[in-house]
Structures are given as structure tokens and as C-alpha cells.
């Protein structure tokens, strides 16, 4: 039994400092991100941290035009599910891509965001 070395909090702190980390199940090899308690695939609890390059493509996206008050000044902005080269997907804010240029399959690259909300530190910009 291995303790998880990357918790969700550590994941977002690392993201903020510019590093995307996934965890790989030591039992079945499944990648997960952000970290989970148990492997969703085989329910083992043997995580090993894996540093991701941060290159991926947009799998789906949504343009936010009415935002919660904390983000009201930012609208409109886009959030996207990005499918990373390593095969995991993560939700992030899209930055520096004109909204009318957004498309499924568009290559993007991880970009750390400084946000008050730690979980908002994952961003993606043009590749
Ligand atoms: Zn597993």
C-alpha cells in the first residue's frame, strides 16, 4: 500500500508554479488527473506521480458569458476540456486564443494562471 504522493492540493499548487502532474496507477497503469483517492479503473491505491509536458488539443469548450461574481469582470472567456498528449483530459481556462478561433482539435499548451481560487490555476494558451 503506497500513500498518494500527489494530493489535489499539491496538484494545483504545482500547476500554479508551472508544472502539470498526473498520477499513474502502480497496479494497472491508468493515468489520472487531478489526483483521486482510488484508481477509477482498478480501485488500487498505488499512485506514482508523472510530470506531463502540457501539450494537448481542445476536446470540448464552453464560452462563459455570464459568470459567478468572482469572475464577472473576465467575461466572456472560455473553458475547455483539453486532451493531453499523455492521454488524460483536464478542464482549464483558455487564455490568449480569440473566442472565434476556438475549435475542437485546436492545439493548446498548458499555462499556469495566478488565481485566488487555487483550482482555477490551470490554463491553456496557444501551442
Ligand atoms: Zn489502476
What CATH number did the domain enclosing 103 receive?
2.40.50
Mean pLDDT of 97-102: 96
Q: What integer pLDDT is reported at residue 119 of this predicted model?
A: 79
Residue 9 confidence class, pLDDT cut points 50, 70, 90: confident
Ligand 1 center–CA 24 separation, angstroms: 8
Ligand 1 center–CA 118 separation, angstroms: 27
65 in a domain, yes or no? yes
Mean pLDDT of 108-125: 89
Ligand 1 center–CA 12 separation, angstroms: 22
Same domain, 59 and 29: no
Ligand 1 center–CA 88 separation, angstroms: 14
Same domain, 33 and 45: yes
Same domain, 20 and 48: yes
Three-state SS letters, the chain: CCCCCCCHHHHHHHHHCCCEEEEEECCCCCEECCCCCCCCCCCCCCEEEEEECCEEEEEEEEEECCCCHHHHHHCCEEEEEEEECCCCEEEEEECCCCHHHCCCCCEEEEEECCCCCHHHCEEEEEC
Ligand 1 center–CA 35 separation, angstroms: 12
The predicted model scores a pTM of 0.84
Same domain, 94 and 45: no
Same domain, 43 and 68: no
Question: What is the domain extent for residue 80?
Answer: 55-126
Same domain, 60 and 48: no
Q: What integer pLDDT is reported at residue 38 of this predicted model?
A: 85
Same domain, 47 and 24: yes
Segment 71-81, tens digit of pLDDT:
788 899 999 99
1 in a domain, yes or no? no
Same domain, 118 and 69: yes
Ligand 1 center–CA 17 separation, angstroms: 28
34 in a domain, yes or no? yes
Ligand 1 center–CA 108 separation, angstroms: 28
Same domain, 66 and 117: yes
Q: Structurally, how many domains does the chain consist of? A: 2
Same domain, 14 and 48: yes
Ligand 1 center–CA 100 separation, angstroms: 39
Amino acid at each position: 500500500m503506497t500513500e498518494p504522493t500527489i494530493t489535489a492540493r499539491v496538484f494545483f499548487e504545482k500547476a500554479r508554479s508551472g508544472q502539470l502532474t498526473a498520477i499513474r496507477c502502480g497496479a494497472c497503469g491508468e493515468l489520472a488527473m487531478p489526483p483521486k483517492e482510488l484508481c477509477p479503473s482498478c480501485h488500487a491505491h498505488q499512485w506514482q506521480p508523472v510530470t506531463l509536458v502540457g501539450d494537448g488539443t481542445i476536446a470540448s469548450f464552453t464560452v462563459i458569458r455570464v459568470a459567478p461574481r468572482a469572475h464577472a469582470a473576465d467575461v466572456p472567456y472560455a473553458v475547455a476540456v483539453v486532451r493531453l498528449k499523455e492521454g488524460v483530459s483536464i478542464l482549464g481556462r483558455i487564455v490568449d486564443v480569440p473566442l472565434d478561433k476556438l475549435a475542437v482539435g485546436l492545439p493548446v499548451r498548458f499555462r499556469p494562471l495566478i488565481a485566488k481560487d487555487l483550482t482555477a490555476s490551470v490554463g491553456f494558451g496557444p501551442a
